[in-house]
Structure 1
Amino acid sequence: MAEEKRSFKIQAINRRFLPFDSEKEKEWQGPFFFVQGADCQPGLTYRWTGTERKQCTTDMPMKWDVEIEATRAVIKKLNQMQPKPKFFIVCGDLVDAFDFEEPFRTQQENDIKQVFSELDPSIPLLCVCGNHDIGDQPTRSSIQRYIDHFGDDYYDFYCGGIHCIVLNSQFYEHSLNVEDLKLKHEQWLDEVLKDKQSKHIIIFQHIPWFLRQYDEGKDYFNIEINTRLEMLEKFYKAGVKKIFCGHYHRNTGGSYKSMELIVTNAIGLALGTDKSGVRLVRVTENDIEHQYFPTEDIPLNFL
C-alpha cells in the first residue's frame, strides 16, 4: 500500500505550540533530547556567488533542489531515530525568496512545507521566523504572510519540564515599519520570562545577539550592541540557560556570564568548513548538552 501523503499543519497558534500540553509539560519527566536546525533556505545555493546572494528576476531560471534534498535527508534521519527526538525546531530562513520575489516565494513555501510534512508525526515540528521569511525590513503584511504559512512569529511552550521561548529576532534588527508589533512582542516577552516553574529556560531565535564575544562590534550577522547587552542582561536575570540561533550558516557561539549562546550551521548551504547538518541537544535535570552533526553522521540513537 502506498504511503499516505501528509500535508503541513500549522501548530503555533495564539502564542502557544498546540502539540504540548502546557500544564502537563511543566513537570520534569526525565532526560530527553531534541534537534535544532536552521536555514533550509531553498534557492540560496543557486544564487550564491561565493561572496553574496544574487538578485533574482522573474525571467531568470531558479532551482532549489539542493536545499530541498538536504532538508529531506535530515528528516529521513530523524524519522529513523530510536527513541524519537522530543521535537525538531528550525531556527529561521525556512525559505530564501522574499515575499516580493514571486513566483519563487510561493513555490519555495509550497516545496518546503511538503518536505516538512514528511517528518514522522510523532516528532513535533517548530518553525522560527528568519529575515528571509518576514523580510529584512518587516511589514505587517510580510509578518502576516509568514503566520499564514508557518504559524506564529513568536510563542512559548513547555516540554518535559523546560520552558522554551521562540522570539522574532527581526524586531531587534529593524522594526520601523512595525513598532506597535514590536511593543506587543516585548510586553509578551516580559510576561513569559516571569514564569520560574521549569528546570531550564531556553530561547530560540534566528539572528544571534553575537557570534563569539558578547561585546563584539556590529555586523550583518549579529544585533546592535546596546540592544544586545540590554536583552542579554534581561535573559540572564530571568534565568535563561541557553540561546539557540541560526542565520550565520556556520557553527559558532560564546557566553554572556553563565548563559551560553549557540549558533548552528545551515541545513541548506553551509558557508564555513563544517558540512550541512543539525544540532542534537540532550536535556538532563541539571544540564543541557549539545553536539553538532553533519547530516550523514546524525546518530540513530542519542540518549
Structure 2
Amino acid sequence: MHWAEKEREWKGPFYFIQGADPQFGLMKAWATGDCDNGGDEWEQEIRLAEQAVQAINKLNPKPKFFVLCGDLVHAMPGRPWRKEQTEDLQRVLRTVDSDIPLVLVSGNHDVGNVPTPETIAEFQRTWGDDYFSFWVGGVLFLVLNSQFLYDASRCPALKQEHDHWLDQQLRTAGQRACRHAVVFQHIPLFLQSIGEDDDYFNLTKSVRKEMADKFVEAGRPGLREGAGEGRDWSGEEAPRSFSRQRERGRALDRTGFSPSSATGGSVTLACEPQLPRLSSRTAEAALAGWLLTLQ
C-alpha cells in the first residue's frame, strides 16, 4: 500500500473504519462446540460481511481506509477449510470501494497461536506484510503482529526484526512530533486494567508493561485492537474503554473512545445515522466496526 508524501501533513479531521474478526467458519464451530475442527460452513459470515461492505461503500464522505484487525478466517494454518474460507473472504473484500484502501492485520487464526516462519510466510503471500506503517492525513499508523508478543518461541529471529522495526517507528513518531500515532494489533494489551492477571485474551503482564511504556515514551499513541477489548490509556490516567469486540463478530459495547484529541463512535454497521440499518441484531456483528474521527 502506498500513500503519497503529502499524507504526512495534517490537513484537518478525518475518519476511518475499523473492523475485527470476520473469522469465516467461527459461527458453525462455536455452535457445535468444536472450535478446533469445526467451521465447515460460513454462509452466515459471508452474508454479514457482504452487508458490512455494502454499508461501508455507501458512506459519504468516504473513510480514509478500512482496517480489519485480525482473525480473517477461522481455520488455523494447516486446518481443513482454510483455503476455501480465505477465497470467500477475498471475494467479499474485493467488493470494497476501490477508493477505500483496505488494511489487514494478522491475528492468531491467521498465523497460528505460536507462529512459525512458514505460517508468517503464508500470511504474507495471501494477505501482504504482517507488520508495517503508513501515514494518512498527518497521522502515523502502525500495524503490529501481536502473535510475536504472545509466543514467538518458534520464530525468535522474526520477532527480533519486528521489535527493532517498532522501535525505529516509535522514534520516527517522536522525532516528527506527529499529531497522532495510532497502533493496530489483534491481541489486546489488557481487558480491564494494565495490572490484571494474564489471560487467553490479553498479553502477559511483562509484555503489556513493556509495550505500554514504549508507547507512552514515544508520545502516547492511540491503541486499536481486535479480539477481546480495545483500550486507551494516557500515561497515569485511568484507562478508558474503546469498543469491546470479541470473536463472535459483534460489538459488545457502545461508543467509548472520546479523548480530547479524537472523537469516535461504535458503528457496529448499524447505529450511525449515515449508515443503512441492517436486517437484524446479528447483522450488526458483521465485522464489528468503529468510526474514529481524528482532530
Query: What TM-score, normalized to structure 1?
Result: 0.82
The code of the aligned residue for 2:77 comes to D
Deviation at 1:89, TM superposition (A): 0.3
Q: Identify if the C-alpha distance between structure 1 residues 53 and 292 changes in structure 2 by more than 3 Å, giving closer, same or farther.
A: farther
Q: Counterparts of 1:254 and 1:287 in 2: how far apart (Å)? A: 12
Q: Identify if the C-alpha distance between structure 1 residues 261 and 141 changes in structure 2 by more than 3 Å, giving closer, same or farther.
A: farther
Deviations 1:229-254 (A, max 9, x none): 01100110001331000112xx5535
The code of the aligned residue for 2:14 comes to F
Deviations 1:121-168 (A, max 9, x none): 000000000000000011111111111111100000000010000000
Q: Counterparts of 2:101 and 2:257 in 1: how far apart (Å)? A: 15
Q: Identify if the C-alpha distance between structure 1 residues 127 and 88 changes in structure 2 by more than 3 Å, giving closer, same or farther.
A: same
Q: Identify if the C-alpha distance between structure 1 residues 273 and 234 changes in structure 2 by more than 3 Å, giving closer, same or farther.
A: closer
Q: Structure 1 residue 163 and structure 2 residue 143: aligned?
A: no
Q: Counterparts of 2:191 and 2:116 in 1: how far apart (Å)? A: 27
Matched with 2:22 is 40
Q: Counterparts of 1:128 and 1:299 in 2: how far apart (Å)? A: 28
Matched with 1:28 is 10
Matched with 2:199 is 219
Match of 1:76 among 47, 51, 54: 54
Deviation at 1:266, TM superposition (A): 5.1
Q: Structure 1 residue 229 and structure 2 residue 209: aligned?
A: yes
Q: Structure 1 residue 246 and structure 2 residue 223: aligned?
A: no
Report if the CA contact (8 A) 2:20-2:71 is conserved: yes
Q: Structure 1 residue 288 and structure 2 residue 230: aligned?
A: no
Matched with 1:56 is 37
Matched with 2:63 is 85
Matched with 2:233 is 255
Q: Counterparts of 2:232 and 2:34 in 1: how far apart (Å)? A: 27
- Secondary structure of 1:78's aligned partner: helix
Matched with 1:11 is none
The code of the aligned residue for 2:271 comes to D
Match of 1:208 among 166, 188, 196: 188
The code of the aligned residue for 1:184 comes to E
Q: Counterparts of 2:240 and 2:127 in 1: how far apart (Å)? A: 28
Report if the CA contact (8 A) 1:70-1:268 is conserved: no
Matched with 1:269 is 249
Q: Identify if the C-alpha distance between structure 1 residues 153 and 201 changes in structure 2 by more than 3 Å, giving closer, same or farther.
A: same
**Greater relative CO (CA pairs within 8 A, separation 6+):** 1
Q: Percent of counterpart pairs with the same letter?
A: 34
Q: Identify if the C-alpha distance between structure 1 residues 263 and 153 changes in structure 2 by more than 3 Å, giving closer, same or farther.
A: farther
Q: Counterparts of 1:88 and 1:280 in 2: how far apart (Å)? A: 19
Q: Identify if the C-alpha distance between structure 1 residues 145 and 44 changes in structure 2 by more than 3 Å, giving closer, same or farther.
A: same
Matched with 2:281 is none
Report if the CA contact (8 A) 1:214-1:254 is conserved: no
- Secondary structure of 1:48's aligned partner: helix
Query: What TM-score, normalized to structure 2?
Result: 0.84
What RMSD over aligned residues (CA atoms) do the two structures have, in Å? 2.6
Q: Counterparts of 1:121 and 1:280 in 2: how far apart (Å)? A: 30
Match of 1:146 among 106, 123, 133: 123
**Counterparts in 2 of 1:175-194, with a 5 A limit?**
175-194=152-171
Structure 1 unaligned runs (5+)?
1-16
Q: Counterparts of 2:247 and 2:253 in 1: how far apart (Å)? A: 11
Report if the CA contact (8 A) 1:33-1:281 is conserved: no
Q: Counterparts of 2:12 and 2:20 in 1: how far apart (Å)? A: 27
How many residue pairs get matched? 272
Report if the CA contact (8 A) 1:243-1:262 is conserved: no
Structure 2 unaligned runs (5+)?
276-290
Report if the CA contact (8 A) 1:37-1:264 is conserved: no
Q: Counterparts of 1:298 and 1:148 in 2: how far apart (Å)? A: 36
- Which of structure 1's runs of 4+ aligned residues deviate more than 4 A? 258-261, 272-275, 279-283
Deviation at 1:56, TM superposition (A): 1.5
